[in-house]
Amino acid sequence: MNKKIVHVAVGVIKAENSVFICKRPDNKHQGGLWEFPGGKVERGESVFTALQRELLEEVALTIHSSTELLVIEHDYGDKQVRLDVHLLTDFHGEAHGAEGQQGKWVAITELDNYAFPAANVAIIEKIKAL
């Protein structure tokens, strides 16, 4: 049976050798794990517009431009996702967990110390190679 694929815009917010990550609330899908901020792309919306909307809501950043990093399709069993991952280096604001969630800047060399959803393995590999 074909499952519906959830289209998600994911932003890797990078400044110097660090990226900004947030902790997913326990009650959400893949809760308690760390994530790159982002969310579902709404009907008729571009990935960039979704990123602008989600990052303002979640981490209070204004995004000026983005570049595509990679696309990941992953089946969690309970949910199938397509992650459109963009690199964000052109933004303004002070990143913080604007929805009450934990958020922090982490050196790319320290990312292996954080637990991410399974789909994120390829994102982390890509970031290390930037």
Q: What is the largest CA-CA distance in the chain?
A: 45
Q: Which whole-number Å values give the CA distances from 63 to 46, 81, 113, in the listed order? A: 14, 23, 27
The listed partner (ligand 8GT, Mg ion, none) that binds 66, CB under 5 to 8 Å by sort, is none
The listed partner (ligand 8GT, Mg ion, none) that binds 41, CB under 5 to 8 Å by sort, is none
Site for ligand 8GT in 50-109 (CB under 6 A): 54, 79, 81, 83
Count of residues touching ligand 8GT (by CB under 6 A):
19
Q: Which residues contact 77 (CB under 8 A, 6 or more apart)?
A: none
SS3 call for 4: coil
What residues line the site for ligand 8GT (CB under 6 A)?
6, 8, 10, 28-30, 35-40, 54, 79, 81, 83, 117, 119-120
